[in-house]
Amino acid sequence: MRIVPVVFVWRDVDVWNADGEVARVRAMVPIVRYAKVAARQYGDDGTEHTLEPVTHRDMHRHNHFFAALNEAFKNLPEEIAPRWPTSEHFRKWLLVETGWFDEREWDFEGPEAKKKADELGLWVRAESEFARISVSEVARGKYKVIVRRAMSQAIPAMKPDDFYQSKKDVLDYASGMIGVKPAELKKQAGRNNA
C-alpha cells in the first residue's frame, strides 16, 4: 500500500476508559476528508505511529529556481550547449555535479565481465535517460559500473531545506558556466518570469 500524507488537527475529544469513565483529552484527529485514508493506513487497533512535522516549500522560490535554471540553459556558451538537449537534462546533470545524487555500484569479474558491465550500462540507459553511467576496468578482467541518478526535487521527495540548498548549489554552478554572478542570474530570471 502506498502511504500518503494525512492532515491532522488538534481537537478536544472524550475518551472512555475500561470503567466507562469519560476524560476530555487533546488528540491529533485526521480532518474529515482524510478520515478513511487514515483508518486504512494506520488502522484503529491502538498501535502507535510517529508523527513528523512537514514544512511546506515556498512555491515562489520553487518556481523562481526553474525560471533561473532555464535562463542559464538558454545562455550556455555555444561550444557546450549541445551537450544538454533540454533544460531538464541540464538540471539533472547539475544536481549530480553538485553532489545531489544517489549512487549504485556493481562489480563484474571473469571472462564475460566487460560484456556484462556494458549490458548493464545499456539497460540502465534505457530505463533512465538522465542517469550518469560509468563503466570502467578497475583491474585486469574486473569491471565496475557506477550509476548516479539526480535526487528528485519534487515536493514530496525533498525536504524544503534540502531543496533550497540544492537550488543554491545548482544555480551557483550554472552561473559560473555562463559567466555571471548568481545574483545576476536570479535577477534576470525574476525579470523574465514576471
| 50-108: pLDDT as tens digits | 877 766 778 888 888 999 999 999 999 999 999 999 999 999 999 999 999 999 999 99
- Regarding whether 143 and 115 lie in a shared domain, the answer is yes
- Regarding whether 191 and 159 lie in a shared domain, the answer is yes
Residue 26, domain extent:
1-53
- Regarding whether 169 and 86 lie in a shared domain, the answer is yes
- Regarding whether 64 and 84 lie in a shared domain, the answer is yes
- Regarding whether 90 and 66 lie in a shared domain, the answer is yes
3-state SS, residue 56: coil
Average pLDDT, the chain: 90
- Regarding whether 80 and 36 lie in a shared domain, the answer is no
Cβ-proximal residues to 28 (8 Å cutoff; 6+ apart), any chain: 8, 9, 10, 11, 51
How many Å is the maximal CA-CA distance in the chain? 80
- Regarding whether 189 and 127 lie in a shared domain, the answer is no
Instruction: Give the pLDDT band (50/70/90) at residue 120.
Output: very high
Which residue matches cell numbers 481537537?
Answer: 11
Write phi, then psi, for 31 (nearest 5 degrees).
Answer: -65, 160
- Regarding whether 122 and 84 lie in a shared domain, the answer is no
- Regarding whether 47 and 33 lie in a shared domain, the answer is yes
- Regarding whether 96 and 13 lie in a shared domain, the answer is no
Nearest to 113 by CA among 132, 146, 138, 148: 138
Burial of 5 (0-12, 13-18, 19+ CB in 10 A): exposed
Look up the pTM and report it. Answer: 0.70
Residue 191 has pLDDT above 90, yes or no: no
- Cα(57)–Cα(55) distance, integer angstroms: 7
For residues 27 and 8, the answer to whether their CB atoms sit within 8 Å is: no
CA Rg, the chain, in Å? 25
Instruction: Give the pLDDT band (50/70/90) at residue 194.
Output: very low
- Regarding whether 86 and 4 lie in a shared domain, the answer is no
- Cα(73)–Cα(78) distance, integer angstroms: 11
- Regarding whether 158 and 186 lie in a shared domain, the answer is yes
What is the amino acid identity at position 21? E
As a whole-number percent, the residues of the chain with pLDDT over 70 amount to 95
The number of distinct structural domains making up the chain is 3
Type and span of the H or E element at 184: helix 182-193
Type and span of the H or E element at 96: helix 87-97
